Amino acid sequence: MRVILFGKGRMGREILEVASQQQDIEIVSVYDSKNIEGAKQNGLPPADVCIDFTTPKAVIENINIAWKHRLPIVVGTTGWYEHLPEIKQRSNSGEGTILVGSNFAPGVNLFFKIASLIGKFINHFDFEVSITEKHHIHKKDAPSGTAITLTEKIISNTNKYNGWTLNQHEQGKLPIKAIREGDEKGTHIVNIYNELEEMEIIHSAKDRKVFAIGALHAARWIVNKSGFFTVEDFYNEILS
């Protein structure tokens, strides 16, 4: 599998390292803000798929470049989801293929399924829910895309909450607390509680390689597919 990588940050470096250990994966080119103009002017080298871990401001441009060259793209960047309906419409109209995910770690995607069950559960029992997420001090978006996805899984399966709030409490909203500290690689906590019971479900990433491994698996899966996909589609097929 020949991969074009957008992004030379923390996740880009992890993907390069993981790919270097796989005999059937070749990173044919890496682009960031310093050399992306060359890609726009001279085109991309032959490849099977693109992977994007850049910044919210760069994502749409990178998607457009990949699609111009008829390449599918896996996007792990978060913080740009206000553009997601437009990208989904364009993809489903045949303009290009994309797989979007807020978190590619296998354990987190199991967590998403648990979150859906939590939403159904609190329709029948009197529990409150809160979410806490912790990341390194350099993470630009808050709350994290993973925390938002967890929240949306709960909200879409319950009539208890009609939205979420960040670092505050509001009636009818599921509260998310975002913490930025040190080199924290990513911890998400869902707390379910009432006066009689309390339960915490925690996922902690011990190494960023887990995200790179998941993204490369998703990239392999999307080759030769057409349309709009999420990382959940990839894991659903694995579990089916």
Q: Which residue has the tokens 């726009």?
A: 40
Q: Which residue of the set 68, 136, 139, 160 is catalytic?
A: 139
Classified as helix, coil or strand, 4 is: strand
Rounded Cα–Cα distance for residues 188 and 111 (Å) = 9
Residues 6+ apart with CB under 8 A from 209: 14, 17, 18
Question: What sign does the dihedral 164-118-218-210 (CA atoms) show?
Answer: positive
Instruction: Tell me the C-alpha to C-alpha distance, in Å, between residue 120 and each of 152, 153, 154, 163, 174.
Output: 12, 10, 8, 16, 15
Identify whether 135 is a catalytic site residue. Answer: yes
Identify whether 57 is a catalytic site residue. Answer: no
Q: Measuring CA to CA, which residue among 96, 4, 15 is closest to residue 43?
A: 4
Question: Is the distance from CB of 177 to CB of 139 less than 8 angstroms?
Answer: no
For residue 19, what are its two tokens? 């790919």
Rounded Cα–Cα distance for residues 194 and 180 (Å) = 28
Q: Is 88 exposed, middle or buried (0-12, 13-18, 19+ CB in 10 A)?
A: middle
Q: Which residue of the set 8, 134, 135, 188 is catalytic?
A: 135
Query: Residues 46, 214, 234, 95: what is their CA dihedral angle, to the nearest 10 degrees?
Result: -30
The DSSP letter of residue 206 is: S
Residues designated catalytic: 135, 139
